[in-house]
Structure formats: structure tokens, C-alpha cells
Amino acid sequence: LQKFTTKLVKKYDIIVLEKLNTKGMMKNHHLARAIANASRSKLVDMLQYKCGWYGKKLIQVNPSYTSQICANCGKNNHRLGLNKSEWLAVR
């Protein structure tokens, strides 16, 4: 994590992350072990202090509506015009 976060902070001036509700995600017993092993909170903490050291900016955004537009084709999800089956085909 140390090497990875240092590389990210040195390479980018602004780093944007989603604020994920990991506590709520841990309630899903199928995903809990994988989420716990991911060390996301440690990663975010390291990025915060390293961004401070290097004078870079870390932004954490609300995850609501962040995945509405496909990064490859630009189509919107079902909330913005496609029905659920069309969006799943696009995704």
C-alpha cells in the first residue's frame, strides 16, 4: 500500500474516491471477508496524509449517481432513459 499510494500521489494532482459505506457492506456475509481484506480505510488514510505532504488534493464524493454514464459508450443507465435490461446489456 505504501508504494502504491506514493505512486498515485506523485503521478496525479487530484485524486477522487467514492465514500463507500464499508460498515454497511460488511453486513453482507458473502462479501465481508473480501471487503475486510481490501484494507480500503488504510488506503484512504495513506492517501490523505500523502496528499498533504505532496500538496496534492484528495476528494471523496458521495457514491449516489456516480455510475450513471458508461465510460466507454456514454449511454445513460435506467434512471436517465434506459430500462434496466438495456442498461445491464450496456454495462
| Sign of the dihedral through C-alpha 36, 38, 42, 45 | negative
pTM: 0.65
Contacts of 56 (CB under 8 A, 6+ apart): 9, 12, 13, 14, 15, 50
Best-predicted range by mean pLDDT among 11-20, 33-42, 77-86? 11-20
14-34 tens-digit pLDDT? 998 888 777 777 787 787 777
Which helix (H) or strand (E) is 40 found in, with range? Answer: helix 40-54
CA 47 to chain centre: 13
Percent of the chain beyond pLDDT 70?
75
Buried b (16+ CB within 10 A) or exposed e, 19-56: eeeeeeeeeeeeeeeeeeeeeeeeebebbeebbeeeeb
Separation between Cα atoms, residue 42 and residue 48, nearest integer Å: 10
Whether residue 90 is predicted with pLDDT greater than 80 in this model: the reply is no
